[in-house]
Amino acid sequence: MQETLEATKKMVDYLAKVNEILENNQNDPSRLIPILQQIQDVYKYLSKDVISYVATALDVPVAHVYGVATFYAHFSLNPKGKHIFRLCDGTACHVKKSHDLLETLYSKLNLSDEKRTSDDLMFTIELVSCLGACGLAPVMVVDGEVHGQSTPKIAEELVDKVIAEEAAAKGV
Ligand code: FES
């Protein structure tokens, strides 16, 4: 019984932010895309539970919400790490050896093409096409901050910085 109560409380807490976003958008089904974007900004991905909840709240079929969430590449249905390393794999960056950055990050974080999010949900590596800053190639965006003319050493240092900040935040 206690476990059920705990689980319910967790779910209510989890959905509090979703409710706030729905309210801010007046529960308007025509605002489904911005609603999903705002939810993803908070949770980093769209879980099955959230998709069903949004469908119910907006009174639209779950299949419709699911269809929108899967149509746009921007949406993710899988959990992502707290820190996102986004590497450009456009032509200019590729020529400037963006692949070396990718390999360095894979090796440092024990990730691969098949597994791009760490088990502790701390890191996700994403590959994107041209970020529109080709003059700065190779370009990497870490938690929204652009790093031009990146090198494997810079990539490693950025990972170390995140790890150090996380440790400091936990008081380790
Ligand atoms: S190809 Fe990487 S920013 Fe354009």
Q: Which atom of ligand 1 is nearest to the CA of 136?
A: 3
| pLDDT band, residue 10 (cuts 50/70/90) | confident
Q: Report the alpha-carbon distance of residue 99 to residue 112 in Å, rounded.
A: 12
Q: Which atom of ligand 1 is nearest to the CA of 91?
A: 1
- Whether 13 shows a pLDDT value over 90: the answer reads no
Sequence ranges of the domains in the chain:
2-71, 83-170
pLDDT in tens, 48-67: 999 999 999 999 999 999 99
Percent residues over pLDDT 90 in the chain? 80
For residue 138, how far is its CA from the centre of ligand 1 (angstroms)? 7
Q: Report the alpha-carbon distance of residue 67 to residue 103 in Å, rounded.
A: 34
Q: Which of 96, 139, 140, 146 to mutate to test the pocket of ligand 1 (most atoms within 8 A of CB)?
A: 139
Nearest CA to ligand 1 atom 1: 90
143 dihedral zone (left: phi>0; alpha: psi -120 to 50; beta): left
Amino acid 43: pLDDT: 86
Q: Which residue has the higher pLDDT, 10 or 56?
A: 56
Report DSSP letters for 111-155, one per residue.
--SS--B-TTS-EEEEEES--S-GGG-S-EEETTEEE-S--HHHH
Q: Is 127 a pocket residue for ligand 1 (Cβ < 6 Å)?
A: no
Tell me the two tokens of residue 121: 């949900």
pLDDT in tens, 66-110: 999 999 888 999 888 999 999 999 999 999 999 999 999 999 999
- Whether 2 shows a pLDDT value over 80: the answer reads no
pTM: 0.73
Amino acid 1: pLDDT: 66
Domain over 83-170 is classified CATH 3.40.30.10: yes
For residue 30, how many other CB atoms are within 10 A of its CB?
A: 10
- What separation in angstroms does the CA of 23 have from each of 120, 134, 140? 32, 40, 35
For residue 14, how far is its CA from the centre of ligand 1 (angstroms)? 37
- Give the phi and the psi of residue 72 in degrees, each rounded to 5: -90, 125
Q: Which of 102, 130, 147 to mutate to test the pocket of ligand 1 (most atoms within 8 A of CB)?
A: 130
The angle at the Cα of 19, spanning 25 to 121, to the nearest 5 degrees, equals 110
